[in-house]
Structures are given as C-alpha cells and as structure tokens.
C-alpha cells in the first residue's frame, strides 16, 4: 500500500533539486551536482566534531578541558551554503520536504556503523516554542531516520522542561548556565545506546546537556547525529 502511494506521488511530484530544479539524486530533493557543493565537516574534533583549524587534528581544547558527556558527535556538513539553506527552509518556512532530504543524508552516513543505537530521540523544543513554531524540526528529521534505519524514535521520553531563551546571542558560559537541568528523560525500560538527532549543533552545549541527562537516566552510550556543525 505504502509503495503504491509512493509510486503515485512520484508520478505527480518527482524528486527535484530544491536548489536548481534538476532531477533529484538517489530519492533526494537534491541533484548530484548541488550535493557535490556541500562542504563536509571533515577536519574536526574527534570528540565534539567542532571544526578545527587547518593542519590541526585530534581533540579540541574545550573537550580536553571538559570532556563531553556524549560518546561521539557527528555533524555532516559545515553550516553554510546549501546545508544551511536546507535547515533554514525547514525551520523558518516549514518546508517539510527538506526534513526528508536531511534525514536521508544522515541515514546514508550513519547506517554502516558497527554499533547501531537501539533508539533515537530528537532534541526537544520547550512546549511554548513548539506551539509557536507548530513543529519540531529535529523530530521531522528523526522521523525519516526512523524509517530509513528501522530504529524506533521515542517521541515523549525526552522533554525540555525549562524554556531557555534563544541561545544565539549568548556567550558559551552563559549558554551552559542557561541549559543546566533544562531536560528530563523518562523511560519504561533501560536502553543501552541512544542517538540524539539535531538539525545543527552550534556550541555543543545543548547536545552535552541532553547527553548528561540521558546518562544519568542509565543510558550507557549517547551519540549526537546532526546534519550540520557550526
Ligand atoms: Zn541541483
Ligand atoms: Zn571538541
């Protein structure tokens, strides 16, 4: 049934590049040429995946000083150009088709890991923010990861209990203070490994606070899977 619906949908709405309108590549709303323009976040910290200056590799100074609570963080692309445009179109113009393309790209990158998570969670929005925006962009992305990887997405296990003010204008230490105990996590049965899905990781402090909360609740391994890294 689902396949038929997909088939009919494809006849009327074939996959089309959101940037140049060429035919989409590999079920993406993105053509091969535009995908080739994405800048991969390659030279980055082994721990938090923050971009590192040229000719420097290993672990960044911040992680050496304060090792993060998550076990691994992946941000596929640099937060600029088309990846940034995709995220902003989803977040601010509610273009849900962007979530599908983002989800498929994250899934393609993560699907061959030796160890796969037993559950996914999306970085939650506070209920007030959720109501304002009408949706949670990370949850939209995670929905497609769940489908592609066949890993359950836990919808209400992780909640944002404090409505942290917009983080963008705050300094790193202010963000950290602002986020302290901002999340709660409740589970019926224990989980060994959870991947946290995010659109873009900026300083990593939100991801770190969620990982801390999950670990406190007994999760043994936490990875952060984001589409972009600022
Ligand atoms: Zn294109
Ligand atoms: Zn780092």
- Could you say which ligand is closest to the alpha carbon of residue 22? 1
The pairing of beta strand 158-160 with beta strand 183-185: antiparallel
Q: How far is the CA of 173 from the centre of ligand 2 (A)?
A: 15
- How far away, in angstroms, is 25 Cα from ligand 1 center? 9
Is this model's pTM higher than 0.95 or not? no
Helix axes of 137-149 and 96-110: crossing angle, nearest 10 degrees: 50
CA of 83 to the centre of ligand 1 (A): 12
pLDDT confidence bin for 188, thresholds 50/70/90: confident
Query: Cα(29) to centroid of ligand 1, in Å?
Result: 8
State the average pLDDT over residues 190-212: 95
Q: Cβ distance 213 to 158 under 8 Å?
A: yes
> Domain spanning 40-229 has what CATH number?
3.40.50
The structural domains of the chain, with segments of one domain joined by +, span 1-37, 40-229
Cα 100 to Cα 37, 89, 92, 143, distances in angstroms: 19, 12, 16, 8
Residue-level pLDDT at 11: 67
Q: Phi and psi (nearest 5°) for 145?
A: -65, -40
Q: Please name which ligand lies nearest the alpha carbon of 205.
A: 2
CA of 127 to the centre of ligand 2 (A): 30
Kindly give the distance from the C-alpha atom of residue 230 to the centroid of ligand 1, in angstroms, as a whole number.
23
State whether residue 223 is helix, strand or coil. strand
Nearest ligand, CA 67: 2
State pLDDT tens for residues 174-187.
Answer: 766 777 888 999 88
How far, rounded to the nearest angstrom, does the alpha carbon of residue 75 sit from its chain's CA centroid?
Answer: 8
| Residue of 175, 184, 180 whose CA lies nearest to 213 | 184
pLDDT in tens, 87-146: 999 999 999 999 999 999 999 999 999 999 999 999 999 999 999 999 999 999 999 999
């Amino acid at each position: 049934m689902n396949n038929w619906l997909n088939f009919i949908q494809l006849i009327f709405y074939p996959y089309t590049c959101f940037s140049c309108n060429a035919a989409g590549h590999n079920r993406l709303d993105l053509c091969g040429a535009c995908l080739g323009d994405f800048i991969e976040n390659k030279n980055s910290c082994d721990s938090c995946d923050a971009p590192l200056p040229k000719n420097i590799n290993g672990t960044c100074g911040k992680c050496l000083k304060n090792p993060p609570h998550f076990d691994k963080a992946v941000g596929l692309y640099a937060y600029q150009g088309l990846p940034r445009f995709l995220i902003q179109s989803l977040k601010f113009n509610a273009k849900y088709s962007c979530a599908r393309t983002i989800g498929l790209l994250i899934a393609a990158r993560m699907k061959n890991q030796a160890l796969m998570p037993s559950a996914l969670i999306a970085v939650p929005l506070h209920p007030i923010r959720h109501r304002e925006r009408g949706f949670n962009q990370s949850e939209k992305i995670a929905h497609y990861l769940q489908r592609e990887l066949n890993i359950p997405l836990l919808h209400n296990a992780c909640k944002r209990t404090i409505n942290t003010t917009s983080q963008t204008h705050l300094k790193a230490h202010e963000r950290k203070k602002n986020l302290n105990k901002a999340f709660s996590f409740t589970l019926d049965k224990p989980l060994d490994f959870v991947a946290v899905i995010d659109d873009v990781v900026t300083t990593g402090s939100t991801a770190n606070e969620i990982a801390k909360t999950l670990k406190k609740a007994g999760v043994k391994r936490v990875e952060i899977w984001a589409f972009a890294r600022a």
